[in-house]
Structure 1
Amino acid sequence: MKTVIVKGLGLMGGSLAKDMRPLYPEAEFVGMDAKQSHEQKAVELGLVDRIGTADDFDRADMVVLCIPVNALPDALVEVMDAIHQDCLVWDTGSTKSQLCKRLSNHPKRHQYVAAHPIAGTENTGPEAAISGLFHGKTNIVCEVERSGFEFQERARELFQALGMRIRFMNPDTHDRQIAFVSHLSHISSFMLGKTVMREEQSERDIFDMAGSGFESTVRLAKSSPAMWTPIFEQNSQAVLEALGDYIKHLTEFKNKMEEEQWEELYAEMEKINGIRSILEGIPGTPSAKTKEEIQKQ
């Protein structure tokens, strides 16, 4: 590996560069970002060796795109048009259907791996980059059958070296399911934050009363609108479906309270507690941690 290009030097791209460097010690890491301040900071932090241009694509052995999903289709086509025949290209975008369709007939489609590492924090920018961000996380790969075997293997080796579990999925199925388990969570957090901020205008001490439950629930409201607005736009159909179900359940909960159906509410919440058994089977979630692991924290 001689040259690795990371396009997008925020949390995802910066963290990837940080953890990929030891895996490719001889490689030159070249960075690109729409924000010059991100580029400068990424060099200062040693995440990349230098800032590149489009002229670097034809010399790259690997290109990773970690940019907002609305910019991904055009950027991906630009990269695929420029790379040589042995270059592996993959991305970290959290929507996949439109992207896979856009690249469907590209002559170098076999060099692309449509990946979605399910990892991240609410923080942004190169300063947010952390080691081990992807360790123990799931990486969804879509349309793996469209990627050439050599490129599949190179990507698989990298993902496993980063400590990720790999799952394969149809892009449409991916986009629908991720709307429920990720995109809806962010909307809920944003709206909870909005609701409490309106109350805070008249009750200055409300945040002093907020406990860890509020903090953990509203944490995602600190996420970047520049990243999440394009996600909601690209995956709007699936997000609207998830949002419709969520609003329906909230309305039903509200109605039970208005009608003082406390036994029904108790029974419903007790039933929903069954999600504990699901979460306990997912590695990396708090519910899946052993008692000894929790005590060490």
Structure 2
Amino acid sequence: MSEMKDESFRTSCLLCPQHCQLEQGQSGKCHTRENRGGEIISLTYGEVAAWNLDPIEKKPLYHFYPGSWVFSVGGFGCNLSCSFCQNHEISQKRQAGRKVSPAELAFQARNSLGLCFTYSEPSMWFEMIRDTAPLVRAQGGKVVLVSNGTMSPSFIEELIPWLDAVNIDIKGFSEEFYQNYCGGKLSWVLDNVERIAGRVHLEITTLVIPGANDDPEEFTELSRWLHNLNIPLAWHLSRYHPAYRLSVPPTERKTLDRLGEIAKEWLPYVYLGNVRGGSTTFCPHCGEVVIQREPVIVNRLNQGCCPKCGEGISGKF
């Protein structure tokens, strides 16, 4: 772990762009990294907060081996403090977790698609990802990351060669939103989306919160920005429900539908999450249903192409 020190052992943690300035014995915003004698150490290495066998669609990843199951694991802590966090029990504090080694995590993933680092912010578990991913790859598994995108460039660059798929939350499209609701910066996230795009399978998620990040003009700007990445991107617009410290009413379906129509003007694959009927994949050329996910997954692709017009559908199938 790289750090900057002074003679009093005050140290800057460089894992993420928060760059917490830590006194001796002090932990950072994420609750997972501590200054000990002028060195930044991980408090959660080998400590699991949650693990489950999940459908890949739950990540959400809709264009990465649909219908498969992936072993999902997460540690404690997060470098953001989102007022609407749905996993705040593990992201906003550290508890005593189950002890596990990288080899055991890889073993647990052996009979599924692979291993997904998720639930809280996985980049706070950097060393575990770094040590576990090669073991998963060696046994033929895929490595997936579900992240808020707030990570220092050198560390994400170290992980990219070991990643097969990433879903990044772009939580809003204004610095004001990130500052007031998340305790972070939009620019940090956009920089990493640009860094990952085209190198790893990438999908984007945005939780739509009434009165906070649901302005149609803002969504148009974000849609245009995603379009300009020049990759056939899947974007998941998910319905918000009250959680943690935010109690505004749930997102109305008509709001999601309206924003989804805006997004479809710019992107080929747009999904509505946490509502019925929003998970179907349509051919962007002819409109044919190519993957149906409700009530069960039905994959109608023919070698990755639309069975009606032959258009290639972006993703890993």
Q: Indicate whether the TM-score tops 0.5.
A: no
More helix per residue: 1
Whose RCO is larger (CA < 8 A, sep 6+)?
Answer: 1
Mark the structure with the bigger radius of gyration.
Answer: 1
In the superposition, the TM-score normalised over structure 2's length comes to 0.28
In the superposition, the TM-score normalised over structure 1's length comes to 0.30
More strand per residue: 2
